[in-house]
Structure 1
Amino acid sequence: MTEKPARGQEPPEPEPDRPEPERPAEPEPPGTPEPFEEPPPATERYVPQPVPPELGGSTGRGRRVRRFRLTAWIALVLAAVVVGASVLWVNGPPTEAELREKAGLFGKETLRIGVKDDTPGIALQDRSGARVFRGFDIDIAYMIAADLGYPKDRVAFMAIETEDRARMQARDKDGLFVRVDLVVATFSVTPERQRDPSVGFSTPYLYTEQSVVTRSDYEGKVTSLGQLRGKKVCTLGTSTSEVELERATRADVTAKNRISDCIEGLKNGEYDAVTTDAAILAGFVKESAGELVHHDIALEKTEMWAVNAGPNAALRDLINLALYRSYADPQNHGWEDAYKDNIEPMLAASRDVNVAQSEQPCVLPPPIRRWPWERGLAAAQECLSR
């Protein structure tokens, strides 16, 4: 049994719990950073909030003004480009179509071309009497004509003699003299001819050199024109070969209009030698089956054959464009095929002579208005680097 404590000795009653007084919040020191806010969950798309105008942000009106200014600036730049291109297009060189009109090709059914007719491998008319021509010059003429818009059945070849190349007078099928549109007839470029107002040379299409041909029984080897002193020599009249021959020797020179007449006289013993361009003589040497011998006379001067368009400057530029396309376009094999089919077969019979350069002479783009993607700058740079 539990005893009760005596009165006055009871333990004191426990005091009830009193809430502790709240302490005032301590002020945060100045410069305390804002509490870090965690970025939104990855699954939520974060949308940046616009900066208020009072903090440097832009209003809707400001954004519209800036967009308007940017659009206006772009429009001005485009307008300047268009105007500049239009000025260049109007004031620049003529187009190919404009040149065709100036050259008188619109409405012209047949293109008349003066060519040689007696030079094997270069320009030879069929011996049957038909007006069929074959040779390097013929293939070059066909190539140019095709670029001018004339297929083979719309090209008329007419025989032209050496002295008539500058006058551009050839003979038609009836033997009458007619003016041709252009001349592709072993016509070499010289300063004197370039000063002639009736001659309008294209860029050169073949490089060759002067050489000499004798019969196989000729004693010794001809290495210079000077060795022909006192000999009977035949060459083409009014040609570069005649000029060089007169400068180098006092030979008994006979000038002919047709190189085939010189070769015939050589074979018959009328002449001791014949001299003219190597590319012209090589075909005769090949056909002679050893009867003729080709000699290199070591002249440094290069004979450059070019097309004569006369005073028709527009036609000359179109011819240059055709030659440029042949030179610059890797898909265009017109010149290479002409060389391979006509000149290469002649080389074996003239091993000691540099008959003709085996690459087309370099051609720069003519002054014809074309779009940038039509311009062969690579070919132009290659031309300038040579």
Structure 2
Amino acid sequence: MTEKPADGGAQTEEAAASGRRPEREPGSPSGAEAVRRERGREPDDRSRYEDDEYGHEDDDRRDRWRDDDHEYRTPEPPGSGVRPRRVRRFRLAAWVMLILAAVVVGVSVVWVNGPPTEAELREKAGLFNKERLRIGVKSDTPGIALQEQGGRRIFEGFDIQIAYMVAADLGFPPDKVDFLAIETEDRARMQALDDNGRFVKVDLVVATFSVTPARKADPSVGFSTPYLFTEQSVVTTSDHPGSITSLGQLEGKKVCTLGTSTSESELSRATRAVITGKNLLSDCVQGLKDGEFDAVTTDAALLAGFVAQSDGKLRHHDIALEKTEMWAVNVGSNNALRTLVDLSLYRSYADPHDQRWEQAYRTHLDPLLSASPRVNVAQAEQPCALPPPVRRWPWERTLPVQECPSR
């Protein structure tokens, strides 16, 4: 048996056979320290944090060394297969850059190929450098659009407030808006009379213009999303016997309505009444009062104002038609302008803080309801509006999107 050297540097036969590491005598240097001493240098603080008694790295002690604000970092042992930290960081940075590049490319594609921005729509609509906005409106319908006959001859009514709302969103304050009286037959042509009595082209028509399939097929008509729902009704003098509950009861009667209107078409299909078409509803109502006509029929929202101002001389009848009259803005063939009008109506509908439509209804239509009991004059909620195709960043899309029921 070989004797164990005094310095403990050799293994015993038993230890060698078992494969165990020899126990180190207390106070004897570690393997790494012994190598350093053989090379003629003493171990420093780093070695104490770096190797355990078998020459292995001690993670806890190494971390304590790093926490002591030392600059030393244990080098990776050669051939260990562990990648340096800087390589891993470089790879992570590369992946981040690739992801960001993909996002930028995707956003750029959507931005370039997506719908136009609001500013681009304004340019396409011809609103840049435009000083004033011309809007064709009715002038003889109380509660909807009525022009004063004296003084400043200003316009007021529900349609007027809707027109102001849309104009403001297009960038035109009230003092930059010109209202021109437009007759029923000229709404599709968008021709209105100016102060000199000449027909001029208007930019918008906000004049109780109902949406129909035939009108939508007309290339000169471009309807916005609807801004009011109403229905057809009938007005007679208050001494008319009984109630009128259908257009069929007007058989053989002299009935006045607006020419080229949806009411005239409906009346012609329902009965063989003696129909007179007028350009102005006020002419029909005056003829009714004078005994020239037995009844007047058109949209309930148009007739309610005349009934309210009649001091009980006129009577409003609900004729129970299922068809809904949907009033919309006509912008003609200017598609960019139509999208901007739709955007204004969508914001008014979807934004709970935007109360302009509700204020217009409370101010001009609510006061008319008491004079027309049991008649659905107009729905008290703005018709549902969907967001038009306008390019916006995700954080700009703050308004809710709701499904609109089909009509």
The two structures have a TM-score, normalised by structure 2, of 0.82
**CA separation in 2, counterparts of 1:311 and 1:268?**
42
Deviation at 1:40, TM superposition (A): 11
- 1:359 aligned partner: 381
* 2:402 aligned counterpart, secondary structure: helix
Structure 2 counterparts to residues 1-386 of structure 1, below 5 A: 27=14, 30=18, 45=64, 53=77, 56=80, 58=82, 62-128=84-150, 130-376=152-398, 378=400, 380-383=401-404
**CA separation in 2, counterparts of 1:53 and 1:384?**
71
Task: Tell me, yes or no, if the aligned pair for 2:159 and 2:207 is still in contact at 8 Å.
Answer: yes
Change (3 A) 1:357 1:376: farther
Larger radius of gyration: 1
Change (3 A) 1:235 1:45: same
Task: Tell me, yes or no, if the aligned pair for 2:231 and 2:378 is still in contact at 8 Å.
Answer: yes
**CA separation in 2, counterparts of 1:50 and 1:57?**
15
Identity across the alignment (%): 69
Deviation at 1:365, TM superposition (A): 0.5
* 1:78 aligned counterpart, secondary structure: helix
Cα offsets for 1:308-366 (capped at 9, x unmatched): 00001111111111111111111111100000100000011111100001000011111
Task: Tell me, yes or no, if the aligned pair for 1:50 and 1:57 is still in contact at 8 Å.
Answer: no
Task: Tell me, yes or no, if the aligned pair for 1:51 and 1:57 is still in contact at 8 Å.
Answer: no
Whichever residue aligns with residue 87 of structure 2, its letter is V
Task: Tell me, yes or no, if the aligned pair for 1:51 and 1:58 is still in contact at 8 Å.
Answer: no
Question: Larger deviation: 72-81 or 224-233?
Answer: 72-81
Task: Tell me, yes or no, if the aligned pair for 1:232 and 1:252 is still in contact at 8 Å.
Answer: yes
* 1:349 aligned counterpart, secondary structure: coil
**CA separation in 1, counterparts of 2:384 and 2:242?**
38
* 2:242 aligned counterpart, secondary structure: coil
Deviation at 1:67, TM superposition (A): 1.9
Cα offsets for 1:93-122 (capped at 9, x unmatched): 111111111111111111000000000000
CA RMSD of aligned residues (A): 2.7
Change (3 A) 1:52 1:102: closer
Cα offsets for 1:238-286 (capped at 9, x unmatched): 0000000001000011000100000000011111110000000000010
Task: Tell me, yes or no, if the aligned pair for 2:350 and 2:399 is still in contact at 8 Å.
Answer: no
Task: Tell me, yes or no, if the aligned pair for 1:213 and 1:293 is still in contact at 8 Å.
Answer: yes
* 1:324 aligned counterpart, secondary structure: helix
- 1:21 aligned partner: none
Deviation at 1:127, TM superposition (A): 2.1
The two structures have a TM-score, normalised by structure 1, of 0.86
Whichever residue aligns with residue 58 of structure 1, its letter is V
* 1:101 aligned counterpart, secondary structure: helix
Q: Which structure 1 segments of 5+ residues have no match?
A: 1-23
Aligned length: 359
Task: Tell me, yes or no, if the aligned pair for 1:116 and 1:160 is still in contact at 8 Å.
Answer: yes
